[in-house]
Amino acid sequence: MDSPRQKRSAQDNTAGRPGDSLDTRMLEGLVGYNARRTWLAISTVFSERMAAYGLKQVDFSVLSLLAHNPGATSRQLCATLDIQPPNLVSLISTMDGRGLIERRPHPHDGRAIGLHLTAAGVQLVQDAEQTVIELEQDASARLTTRERETLIRLMQKVYR
Amino acid sequence: MDSPRQKRSAQDNTAGRPGDSLDTRMLEGLVGYNARRTWLAISTVFSERMAAYGLKQVDFSVLSLLAHNPGATSRQLCATLDIQPPNLVSLISTMDGRGLIERRPHPHDGRAIGLHLTAAGVQLVQDAEQTVIELEQDASARLTTRERETLIRLMQKVYR
DNA sequence: TATTGTTATACTCTATAACTATA
DNA sequence: TATAGTTATAGAGTATAACAATA
């Protein structure tokens, strides 16, 4: 207890010296804070490397889901990714305009539209998934393979 | 390899059946995806319980940092929390207006402003921190104490 | 009556350029 | 010349209400 690391009395007023880093032990003891920082760190690398494909995180998630779930509906994507239907409309429309996906009438439900990757879409997702896997390795390079598996397992234990 | 869990051929077109959940194994193998979901899960509980204090996540982070770093400057808060200076202005102003913090001339630097909690601020942070600790326990209740420590340690290994 | 996809819209969050006062 | 705080503003991201077509 009472680790001397970054120890600084709350009485004296030395925190304001510019250049000094702050005592963040309280925040760093929280799962939420650390989860956000972790996501932000990966997110930065993701944005850098995926710009080459013209894909943001949501774009990648949607395309990757369609690669493994051909014919999925807009509604299913929304439920899976926890996004609101109106916010998916322009994304789908853009992907369609880029020739990456196509909308086909749904076989069982006249209200719904089945979403499918085009040949170009399949190729792009294949490359993008490979890039994401590499980028994730690099962004979490300080973890061993076993630690990475443990981390993912524990995170899923929280939210799943 | 080739686990039968959620196995579904990419050829047949069964994904579009409403009510079906999608195969998310690719995304769930990514640190970034899981970190975001984890943060989102905690975030939801946080918003619910911290509404009583009128505090959002950033608000809490700033006030808690000031509790443990009296006299910290706006610049230091920005660097610590990775937010842009302009986005902190209205937050600080609001906290000042609520009588939770006060701005004092900085002892060593005439450009800077030292930020301090008021007595009311100290009391609020004390209560809020307690609520956050409880809320975190509840939101990560499926983790043992040891697992929670491991999770935090591994997350910090990624971003720190 | 409920659900799918959609439009319009608003609100929050985050980022950038440019100014002032001080170092 | 550089830095702290600030203003104004623009762009993402996210949320709600309401509608037409179909179940």
Q: Is A10 part of a structural domain of the chain?
A: no
- Closest partner residue to B108 among A17, A29, A156, by Cβ? A17
Contact residues on chain A for B159, CB-CB shorter than 8 A: 34, 37-38, 40-41
Sign of CA dihedral B71, B74, B77, B79: negative
Q: Is the pLDDT of residue A2 over 70?
A: no
Number of domains in chain A: 1
Q: What residues pair up with B113 in beta bridges, in sequence order?
A: B105
Q: Is the pLDDT of residue A1 over 80?
A: no
Which structural domain range is residue B129 located in?
30-159
Nucleotide nearest B110, from its CA to each C1': C22
Torsion region of A117: left, alpha or beta (phi above 0 gives left; psi -120 to 50 gives alpha) = beta
Confidence of residue A4 (pLDDT cuts 50, 70, 90): very low
* Predicted confidence (pLDDT) per residue in B46-89, tens digit: 999 999 999 999 999 999 999 999 999 999 999 999 999 999 99
Residues 108-147 of chain A with CB under 7 A from strand C are 109, 111-113
Mean pLDDT over B109-131 rounds to 98
What percent of chain A is modeled with pLDDT above 90? 88
Tell me how far apart the alpha carbons of residues B5 and A148 are, in angstroms, rounded to a whole number. 21
Q: Is the pLDDT of residue A16 over 80?
A: no
Give the pLDDT score at B53.
98
pTM of the shown model: 0.91
Q: Is B133 part of a structural domain of the chain?
A: yes
Quick check: A49 CB within 7 A of strand D? no
Tell me how far apart the alpha carbons of residues A149 and A136 are, in angstroms, rounded to a whole number. 13
Q: Is B6 part of a structural domain of the chain?
A: no
What percent of chain B is modeled with pLDDT above 90? 88
Confidence of residue A14 (pLDDT cuts 50, 70, 90): low
Contact residues on chain B for A150, CB-CB shorter than 8 A: 150, 154
* Predicted confidence (pLDDT) per residue in B10-60, tens digit: 333 455 455 579 999 999 999 999 999 999 999 999 999 999 999 999 999
The CATH number of the domain holding residue A62 is 1.10.10.10
Please give the protein residue whose CA is closest to the C1' of the nucleotide D17.
Answer: A86
Q: Is B15 part of a structural domain of the chain?
A: no
Least confident of A39-48, A54-63, B17-26, B43-52: B17-26
Q: Is A16 part of a structural domain of the chain?
A: no
Give the pLDDT score at B8.
41
Tell me how far apart the alpha carbons of residues B58 and B157 are, in angstroms, rounded to a whole number. 23
Q: Is the pLDDT of residue A106 over 90?
A: yes
Tokens at residue A40, please?
A: 């932000």
Q: Is A5 part of a structural domain of the chain?
A: no
Give the pLDDT score at B57.
98
Contact residues on chain B for A151, CB-CB shorter than 8 A: 31, 34, 151, 154-155, 158
Q: Is A13 part of a structural domain of the chain?
A: no
* Minimal-distance CA residue of chain A relative to B114: A16
Inter-chain Cβ pairs, chain A and chain B, closer than 8 A: 228
Q: Is A60 part of a structural domain of the chain?
A: yes
